[in-house]
A = this chain, B = another copy of it.
Amino acid sequence: MVESVITKRKSVFTQDEKDAVYRAIRERRDVRSGYLLRSLENDILLRLLNAAHMAPSVGLMQPWRFVVVRDAGLRAAVHDNFLCANRKAAVSYTAERHAAYAQLKLEALLDAPQHLCVLCDAMSERGHGLGRNSMPQTAAYSVACAIQNLWLAARAEGIGVGWVSIIDPAAVKTLLNIPSHLELVAYLCLGYVESFSDVPDLERDGWEHREEIVSLVKVDSYDRPLSGAEPCQ
């Protein structure tokens, strides 16, 4: 009994610990500028990747795979890939929105001393298919959860992460000799940074603003908003 109480106490987070977790969540940023030249050492890189590796995964399948891209030629090639994808994306905007889009700084592929290509092996037999019979897409969602773990750990370590989705994933896979059955989930810039912005760049630049969370929450039915709802005991 005493042992059980101790075990329970051990599992409780102090207020300081809670605050630190919320701080990492609140101060995490998608960093697109201010990367320093200093490369990440293997030990800290592995610390971040281990944080990713502790993410939940459907059936414990651990479908995440990582390619660290350090070679300057490869980084420049991915930047070229971005430029091409970005030209295609820009044409979808007209008038003022087009001008605003052209002003945005959307990546730091040449500045960040390393990139991280994050893949999903949905064909892996690890996990024995558990949980994927009805929702196979949960393999890729597990990988996204792993990315968020890495992102929060990086913020705590003073390391910036920037997710670049304006790329042609198939071309990047070819560049890095990635087997065709692996899905490219994310392409990240990664590195020590000068600072972290107070607000997301896209909010600061007037591209988009934050929703009120309450407007996104319903209770028991999608037509029933949270406001006025009380927990039923």
Which A residues have a C-beta under 8 Å from some C-beta of B? 7-8, 11-13, 16-28, 30, 39-42, 46, 49-51, 53-56, 58-62, 64-72, 74, 85, 88-89, 92-93, 97, 101, 104, 106, 113-114, 126-135, 137-138, 140-142, 144-145, 147-149, 151-153, 155-158, 163, 165-169, 176-179, 182, 185-186, 194-196, 200, 202-203, 207-211, 213-214, 216-223, 226, 229-233
Contact = CB atoms under 8 A, between A and B. Distances in A.
Nearest to A132: B165
B222 A178 contact: yes
Contacts of A85: 133-134
Given A21-B153, A156-B17, A135 B218 contact: no
A141 B140 contact: yes
A203 to B, nearest CB: 6
13 contacts: A17-B20, A22-B51, A25-B149, A46-B213, A55-B148, A56-B148, A59-B202, A60-B210, A68-B226, A128-B208, A132-B165, A145-B145, A148-B149
A8 to B, nearest CB: 6
Given A60-B207, A68-B219, A137-B140, A42 B132 contact: no
A182 B89 CA distance: 24
A159 B64 CA distance: 26
Overall SS of chain A's interface: mixed
Contacts of A46: 213-214, 217, 226
A126 to B, nearest CB: 6
Contacts of A194: 8
Given A13-B155, A92-B133, 17 more contacts: A11-B196, A13-B24, A13-B157, A13-B158, A21-B24, A40-B231, A42-B230, A56-B151, A60-B208, A67-B221, A88-B134, A89-B130, A130-B207, A137-B140, A140-B141, A141-B185, A148-B148
